[in-house]
Structure 1
Amino acid sequence: MSSLSLSLRGAAREAVDAEVPGLVDHEFASRLVAKDHTLWGRAAEDEAAKRLGWVALFDDSRALLPRLEQLRAELAEEGVTRVVLAGMGGSSLAPEVICATEGVELTVLDSTDPQHVAAVVAEDIDSTVLVVSSKSGSTVETDSQRRIVQQAMTAAGVDPLRRTVVVTDPGSPLAEQSAAEGVRAVFEADATVGGRYSALTAFGLVPSGLAGADVAQLLDDAEEAAGVLAADDATNQGLQLGAAVGGTRPLRDKVVLVDAGSPLVGLGAWIEQLLAESTGKEGTGLLPVLVADGEPELARDADDVLVVQIVDPDAEDGTSVDGDLGDTVASPHVVRTGGSLGAQFVLWEVATAVAGSLLGINPFDQPDVESAKAAARGLLDSPAPQAGDAVVDGAVEIRVSGDAAEAAAATTVSGALEALVGEIPEAGYLAVMAYLDRTSETALEEIRPELAQRAHRPVTFGWGPRFLHSTGQFHKGGPHVGVFLQITSTAAEDVEVPDRPFTLQQLIAAQAAGDAQVLADHGMPVVQLHLTDRAAGLQQILDAVHSPS
């Protein structure tokens, strides 16, 4: 299953025909493997020179495996049956898809919602190992999660240091702190690999391996694909996929990702972060839109939409630029890709590097992620009054910010949603951002396809603060054509963060408010729906979408 398949049609094929010959002539693939930091222009050279370790990491990654297997065996002897991963963005998305694909259990803790975090620490804490995964250790979400889980371990009579494994960069503050405290194990990753390119480093391998995934096979498949993708040849699927997603003219910047029978569970969410955070800057970029197979996504025929299907490679016939994709695809502009998980990781990393070059941006920084973090920190230090007077409709408070005059006049949830959909520009999109519990309030995801049908435009859905490390970069750094629906609530029971001057409720509220503030400062419409009664308010929103007045 390690071989890659790729089929392209319509604008994707045209982009390959137009761009790949030039990429081959410029020896893009071999220069990438040689870590040529000049491939993305002069402005990107300093950052690129420090971020290309992902192209040659297999020896270092394999060196981790004996130690990782020994630690897993030791923990099993001690009765550890549960792995909890505290990490955000690139530190959690790859392990999540690796473990889900292999059918092994991994509890990913990438939320600051008190209800979510409380449920995680209430379950089997005496048989849990905590993996703390952060390049620096300064990520506020991960630090808060670490403190809360370790406190719960102490309360349960478990030594938290013996049950904590750390993954971080060499010499980071977290590495130094962990060594001083004497945690069970510290795994250091290559500092020249950025978070979203770190799937095949210790960040992806350690939590997955401890959970029982076959990470050795993952590396074997990835290395096999890497060898193929190093060739300066027109049949190089990495060059082709990068040209297909980043080289359409005019740019089809809404990339609709469809799981079309793929055995790779959740790969779309990993691709979403890689593409959006790598390319969404300087007023351009690629916005992934995750949809279900067979879902009537009415925007697929739009001039700014490209459909990418992730398929079962056993059902494909290999690489074909002229592939017959059948009659089941609504859009004439389609990419189909299949392959093993390790191969797909490498394929999309190469394709993203190619797309960044074609878009003329630096695919290794994330400047606008920091703007939301800074706003959240400011609101934690000095909470500001909520923006605007709220309109109350049942169990929902409605606030509007940014350039959204019609939505500001709405007095009901249905009216606010209708007005916000009406604010979507011709080449725009709607982003739903839910700062709630992504494990128990999943019914909210149902509103995404219904809003898409109503708007006839792409609609994304993100759980906060998780999406801030993913599509959040595109929302702020890409073309300002988005409109935003933010949904928040107050947990019935808050969770204290040990030795910190804030609770989780205060943190998630600051993150939501900071995100809305930055979006509004850019002039983009933001409708905030705050649930004063969590269950009733959630149902009210579902009813408003399912049965608009």
Structure 2
Amino acid sequence: MEVSYREEGVAAAASSVAGRLVADGVPARLAGGDPTLWGEDAEAEAAVRLGWLTLPRSSRELLPELGKLAERARAEGLTNVVLAGMGGSSLAAEVICATADVPLTVLDTTDPGQVRRALTDQLDATIVVVASKSGSTVETDCHLRIYRQLFADAGIDPAGRIVVVTDPGSPLEQLAVEGGHQLVLAVPDVGGRYSALSAYGLVPGALAGADVTRLLDDAGEVLPLLSRDTGNPGLDLGAALGGAALAGRDKLLLEDQLSGITGLPDWIEQLVAESTGKQGRGILPVVGADPAQVGDELIVAIESDVGDVRVDGPLGAQFLVWEYATAVAGLLLEIDPFDQPNVAESKENTATLLALPDLPTGAPAFTDGPVEVYGAVTAKDLPGVFAELLHAIPDGGYLAIMAYLDRLAAFDAPMPEGADFEQMTDAWMMADPATLRALLAMRTERPVTFGWGPRLLHSTGQYHKGGPQNGVFLQITGVVTDDVAVPGRPYTLGRLQLAQALGDLGALETRGRPAVRLHLTDRAAGVARLLAAAQEA
């Protein structure tokens, strides 16, 4: 595992910062689990959140159980693995399985269309991993309720088809015991976004067929380096991240040009944004963007020379080194990298909205074809709205696009007859809301991020509300034509999804940030109109 600096200014700043950290004994203290590193206010939280430092060793105790679980699933023909989990309970497993090229369906959404795709896919061969640290995550609770009912209606005993991963003492543990489900208890002294090498990453990975032993081996090889004053990749990366942020380079552009580690930037995005975005400070990860050559960017590349910093190493080592580096960056920024004080705000707003007879969507400012525009805008059409939002980005700021839609819907796009792969890719891109990020990024030097709701609430949502208040926000919601009921709850997935979007938008608006919601009255036509309008802006 190696971290190397490719830009002289970054190298000089990181070296200076690392020297101060070494003088304070940080490498050995962090590797030893010293909770006092982040100050008195953070000590209590840190004291119960440093178990990730020993996961390469402690998680080996899970391997025999995981081997038996995977063997049983294969023997019963359960080859369709579905993971219901949010944030740290799903992102690492998604990377593990994508990198190993083994199939895993991740449910980290409340979009009815995307959930229905999973529900109608190979139910006879499906095994579901329900993962939640708290045991009360609303999205995961919905998925569990829906799958239990679905299995029962099909004459399948849910007890043998649902595996529960949670912390000891959570409500989900009790439910698993009462329901007779396979239960895997995770170590409780690890925060969700630091849990890649715990049961949350390993259980779904093992069931799907990934080599989780190799993952722990690779992490174990780098572990002894993390107490060293030199040749310590976690210290080197953390000094670069934190040192750059202190110098005003607080936009972290993550470059991954076919490294072979699929999806790692998305996992890093959650780890860094949720860990550092608080008290008006933080590091904003930007995934998939081209450098704009502005002064507040730090480009970190995974196994390539295109950035200011290069990070080389296998996936297990990458997980551990990025976690260590994020903890170091938090120390330098003088924040607690283990809490998420603003995440609960949107959850509380959502609960309040769900208690109302009708969701307060308000009246649109205007309608542009299949797109309703909500918010304080002076523009009269979509190109004007986009131009207005881009103009509103302050120096040092960013535009965040937040899409509460089905992230797989683009694959339903009609294909030209006899289309080759390039033509198919073009058709998918022009049906994908995520393409909007690139189109708007071409029209500004400021960073443009893109996130899928509600999973972003467990990731960049903390940064949006707790980090520097210089964001401009564009939210996209869509009509629901085929909703999904949630057994035992007074709401459907569609109602929950819209309440989550409105709740988060309300949290942003209370901070006085520019925020616009675009509602697609026809999803496919609406996406097409958004992309066309972005090219006209």
Same fold (TM over 0.5): yes
Deviations along 1:374-393, one digit per CA (max 9) or x if unpaired, are 11111111244224543111
Indicate the residue corresponding to 2:492 in structure 1. 503
Q: Name the structure 1 match of 2:375.
A: 400
| Long gaps (5+) in structure 1 | 313-324, 402-407
Following superposition, the deviation at residue 166 of structure 1 comes to 0.5
CA distance in 2, matches of 1:243, 1:168: 33
1:305 and 2:294 matched = no
> Deviation string for 1:494-523 (max 9, x for gaps)?
100011010001000000000110001000
Counterpart selection for 1:101 from 52, 76, 99: 99
1: CA distance, partners of 2:137 / 2:170: 12
Structure 2 residue 216 is the aligned partner of structure 1 residue 219: yes
* Paired position in structure 2 for 1:316: none
Distance 1:453 1:196 in 2: 31
Amino acid at match of 1:25: A
Q: Does 1:520 align with 2:509?
A: yes
Matched, 1:391 2:336: no
CA contact (8 A) 2:70 2:207 kept: yes
Is 1:275 the equivalent of 2:272?
A: yes
Within the alignment, does 1:200 sit opposite 2:169 as a pair?
A: no
2: CA distance, partners of 1:353 / 1:250: 18
Deviation at 1:8, TM superposition (A): 3.6
Q: Assess if the C-alpha contact under 8 Å between 2:252 and 2:297 holds in 1.
A: yes
CA distance in 2, matches of 1:460, 1:5: 25
Q: Contact conserved, 2:294 with 2:445, CA < 8 A, in 1?
A: no
Of 324, 335, 341, the residue aligned with 1:361 is 335
In the other structure, the counterpart of 1:16 is 14
Is the 8 Å Cα contact of residues 251 and 304 (structure 1) preserved in structure 2? yes
Give yes or no for contact 1:254–1:306 (8 Å, CA) kept in 2.
yes
What is the aligned partner in structure 2 of residue 344 from structure 1?
318
Aligned to 1:48: 46
Given that 1:262 and 1:338 are in contact with CA atoms closer than 8 Å, whether structure 2 keeps it comes out as no
Q: Mean alpha-carbon deviation: is it higher for 250-259 or for 82-91? A: 250-259
Q: Residue 27 of structure 1: CA displacement? A: 1.5
Partner of residue 284 from structure 2, selected from 287, 307, 311: 287
Q: TM-score, normalised by structure 1?
A: 0.92
Letter in 1 for 2:525: A
Q: Note if 1:70 corresponds to 2:45.
A: no
**8 Å Cα contact 2:57/2:216 also seen in 1:** no
* Alpha-carbon distance between aligned partners in 1 of 2:84 and 2:249, rounded to the nearest angstrom: 35
Q: How many residues align?
A: 515
Once the two structures are aligned, what percentage of the paired residues are identical? Answer: 52
What letter is aligned with 1:365? D
Tell me if the contact between 1:4 and 1:343 (Cα under 8 Å) persists in the aligned partners: no
Check whether the contact 1:85–1:131 (CA below 8 A) recurs between aligned residues: yes
- Find out whether 1:32 has 2:30 as its counterpart: yes
Structure 2 Cα separation of the partners of residues 260 and 420 of structure 1: 30
Aligned to 2:344: 370
Partner of 1:317: none
Q: Which runs of 4+ in 1 moved over 3 A?
A: 387-390
Structure 2 counterparts to residues 47-446 of structure 1, below 5 A: 47-183=45-181, 185-233=182-230, 235-248=231-244, 249-291=246-288, 296-297=290-291, 299=292, 301-311=293-303, 325=305, 329=306, 334-382=308-356, 383-387=358-362, 389-401=364-376, 408-441=377-410, 443-446=432-435
Further displaced range: 242-251 or 18-27: 242-251
CA distance in 2, matches of 1:268, 1:99: 15
Decide whether the 8 Å contact of 1:484 with 1:525 is kept in 2.
yes
> What amino acid is the match of 2:184?
F
Counterpart of 1:129, as a letter, is I
SS at match of 1:483: strand
Q: Deviations over 1:347-392 (max 9, x none)?
A: 1011001000000000000011111111111111124422454311
1:60-99 Cα distance to aligned partner (Å, 9 max, x none) = 3111111111111111111111110000000000000000
Secondary structure at the aligned position of 2:58 is classed as helix
Structure 1 Cα separation of the partners of residues 258 and 510 of structure 2:
41
Equivalent in the alignment of 2:463: 474
- CA contact 1:87–1:133 (8 Å) conserved in 2: yes
Structure 2: how far apart are the matches of 1:9 and 1:388? 51
Q: Say whether 1:543 aligns with 2:518.
A: no
Provide TM-score, normalisation by structure 2. 0.94
Give CA-to-partner distance per residue, 1:461-497, whole Å, 9 cap, x none.
0000011111110000000100011000122111000
